[in-house]
A and B are shown apart, each in its own frame.
Chain A
Amino acid sequence: MPNYAVWDDKAASSLIDEHRAKPGALLPILHALQERFGYVDGGIVPTLAKALNLSRAEVHGVISFYHDFRDSPPGRHVVRLCRAEACQSMGNEQLITHAKQRLGVDFHETTHDGRFTLEAVYCLGNCACAPALTIDDKVYGRVDAARLDQLLDQAGKRP
């Protein structure tokens, strides 16, 4: 997930061309853009609208509807903590408080050094190994504060 390319309109346009023929192509295109660049630059909205014969408002409406799509680059690593019931029953509140304190950010924020973005997620399907979280694309279960510190230390050392 990390090591995103710097936003490039030309590369973005060729990704759009690659997927535009699919039925209901907008979500697959947005995923492809975000996978490459880490976010969907607002400047691409008119191009997207034209390619898919939609209005700019429709495209903007879709991008802003879904929690996944970002309009600015994330930190180098994205940490997502599960806030849902099964994790609540195993004390995720303490874990969330700990993560916010340790990183010095709230949900949807990025640390000053650009290293971590903290997000909330509602269920990772790891409810029998709660509390759960992800760092980039990797899921972790049965996480306590000490384990979280360890995971953040490891991730922080990666580029």
Chain B
Amino acid sequence: MSVRVFVPGDSAALSVGADEVAERLAAEARARKLDLTIVRNGSRGLYWLEPLIEVQVDGARIAYGPVAVEDVASLFDANFVAGGAHKLRQGPTDEIPYLKKQQRLTFARCGITDPLSLDDYRAHGGYRGLTRALELAPDAIVKEVIDSGLRGRGGAGFPTGIKWRTVLATPADRKYIVCNADEGDSGTFSDRMIMEGDPFVLIEGMTIAGLAVGATEGYIYIRSEYPHAFRQMNRAIELAHRAGLLGSNLMGSGKAFELHTRLGAGAYICGEETSLLESLEGKRGQVRFKPPLPAIEGLFGKPTVINNVISLASVPIILDRGAEHYRDFGMGRSRGTLPIQLAGNIKQGGLVELAFGITLRQLIDEFGGGTASGRPFRAVQVGGPLGAYFPEKLLDTPLDYEAFAALKGMLGHGGVVVFDDSVDLALQARFAMEFCAIESCGKCTPCRIGSTRGVEVIDRIVAGTEIGKNLTVLDDLCETMIDGSLCALGGLTPFPVLSAVKHFPEDFDRSSPRAGRRSAA
């Protein structure tokens, strides 16, 4: 019988040599006359172990990683196809503590199944959510999503079901479902993982959204930095079409839903929903005034549900298991699970899906295992380039939308980037302003001009010029940007800046020995 070996086709795994490992495995198996079936699965999200290969032995999967091409021959010598001992052997994958301690709902299948096998998808609970949705009236589907407590996982945390209810209640000849797959925040990759590792769950979620609000057409807007995810989604859509899971007669129900993909073009601002809609319409990605909300006048002026990949990918399990099952996870008003992305200077970076409520400290220590460099921890930025920098003393903050907001930070899309003590927070603050200047759509003045002035002010501080006065100017500038910007780019860029000044004042006092450590390190 053929032995099944799993080698991730996830682009992060590819970035550290998964394709080369797969090729060598196949060649070595041929040379040794072994019957090997290589499955290109998604990633389990244990990125420090990538390329992580798994072999199926007596119903269990045994993991080996990180595997380099040079290790392949010795793996065969150690009889890894039967789970043999080897220095890279990590034991049964499901027993790896990093994975075992997680609560995987949205990522239940990612890394386990063949991403492009509908049989695999169905065998692991796929399309049960849609089957149930097809039996429900639209308002009953919407009610289920509202009751689940699901909030937008893109960053803003707006209740997904409420958005859907508005679209359902707005009469129109045509409505749209738009998936925001413009995952531009540094430190985040969960959208990419789902699109590459379990694309059907996104298709199913969008189809359910279509049934819920009466939309028959959907678009997935994927950033151009994710060519691999783009190709994978296109293949999955094609397969779903052929199987009657998209198109004019969903599962024989007579109901219709069509799905298209579109590629972004390297503009961070297009992750902002109205700018994304402009871009989908073929225009400059400039932010729109709100109101009208996209739920009333969205894509091509029609009522539009626009949700993040993870929000939509969480819908099938909510419909399948019921709102209560999902809502039972979490804390306060943050219900369900959050796929956290642990990244940056961290020993064990990867995807950690957990109920809301875990603290940053638990995350960094218990999952991350400390810094990658081995140097002391100094700062963590949560929520992407618009998220606050927190020092060690705030590490007991639980991951919860409200807890972060209370500290003038945000959870955002769940990206956690760790820095060791070589970081210079004045330079990080400068980068936040510089990034805003590069990526501003230019529509409103506080963002367009404020960010450039911000870089200049921080440059003066770093140069040691009238530091006190310039800090006052910086504070004032940030206030203007927060109050006067049209969208979150200009409105939230001050968060990393102000948090850096507040929690790491020694880095802004350029006469202190602490300042400028990064260049000295």
Binding site for B on A (CB under 8 A): 23-28, 30-31, 52, 58, 61-62, 65-69, 84-90, 93, 121-130, 132, 137-142
Smallest CB–CB gap between B272 and chain A, Å? 14
In the complex, whether B280 has a CB less than 8 A from a CB of chain A is yes
Q: A86-B417, A87-B186, A122-B439 are contacts. A66–B265 as well, Cβ < 8 Å?
A: yes
Asked if A129 contacts B300 (CB within 8 A), the reply is no
Asked if A127 contacts B188 (CB within 8 A), the reply is yes
Binding site for A on B (CB under 8 A): 11-12, 14-16, 47-48, 50, 183-189, 191-192, 224-228, 262-268, 279-286, 300, 341-346, 349-350, 372, 381, 385, 415, 417-420, 423, 428, 431, 435, 438-439, 441, 518
Smallest CB–CB gap between B438 and chain A, Å? 8
Distance between Cα atoms of A67 and B182 in the complex (Å): 14
Smallest CB–CB gap between A46 and chain B, Å? 17
Distance between Cα atoms of A93 and B519 in the complex (Å): 10
Distance between Cα atoms of A138 and B17 in the complex (Å): 11
B349 nearest in chain A by CB position: A128
B264: A residues at CB distance < 8 A: 66
Distance between Cα atoms of A84 and B11 in the complex (Å): 18
Q: A86-B417, A89-B423, A125-B225 are contacts. A31–B268 as well, Cβ < 8 Å?
A: no
Distance between Cα atoms of A58 and B266 in the complex (Å): 19
A80 nearest in chain B by CB position: B225
Of B188, B300, B350, B518, the residue contacting A125 (CB under 8 A) is: B188
A24: B residues at CB distance < 8 A: 262, 280-283, 300
Distance between Cα atoms of A139 and B283 in the complex (Å): 29
> How many A-B contacts are there with CB distance less than 8 Å?
151
Of A23, A61, A122, A128, the residue contacting B343 (CB under 8 A) is: A128
Can you report 22 residue pairs joining A to B where beta carbons are below 8 Å apart? A24-B283, A26-B282, A27-B280, A31-B224, A62-B282, A66-B285, A69-B265, A84-B435, A86-B343, A89-B344, A89-B418, A122-B186, A122-B385, A122-B438, A123-B185, A126-B189, A128-B341, A128-B342, A129-B15, A139-B11, A139-B228, A142-B16
A125: B residues at CB distance < 8 A: 11-12, 183, 188-189, 191-192, 225-226
B438: A residues at CB distance < 8 A: 122
Asked if A68 contacts B265 (CB within 8 A), the reply is yes
Distance between Cα atoms of A121 and B224 in the complex (Å): 11
Smallest CB–CB gap between A26 and chain B, Å? 4
Asked if A31 contacts B263 (CB within 8 A), the reply is yes
Asked if B265 contacts A27 (CB within 8 A), the reply is yes
Smallest CB–CB gap between A130 and chain B, Å? 7
Distance between Cα atoms of A50 and B428 in the complex (Å): 45
Distance between Cα atoms of A126 and B13 in the complex (Å): 9
Shortest beta-carbon contacts, A-B, top 7: A128-B349, A84-B186, A26-B282, A66-B265, A127-B343, A141-B15, A128-B47
Q: A86-B343, A139-B15 are contacts. A28–B267 as well, Cβ < 8 Å?
A: no
B277 nearest in chain A by CB position: A24
Of B227, B263, B285, B342, the residue contacting A65 (CB under 8 A) is: B285
A26: B residues at CB distance < 8 A: 282-283
Smallest CB–CB gap between A57 and chain B, Å? 11
B225: A residues at CB distance < 8 A: 121, 123-125
A129: B residues at CB distance < 8 A: 12, 15-16, 47, 50, 349
Smallest CB–CB gap between A98 and chain B, Å? 15
Distance between Cα atoms of A106 and B191 in the complex (Å): 32
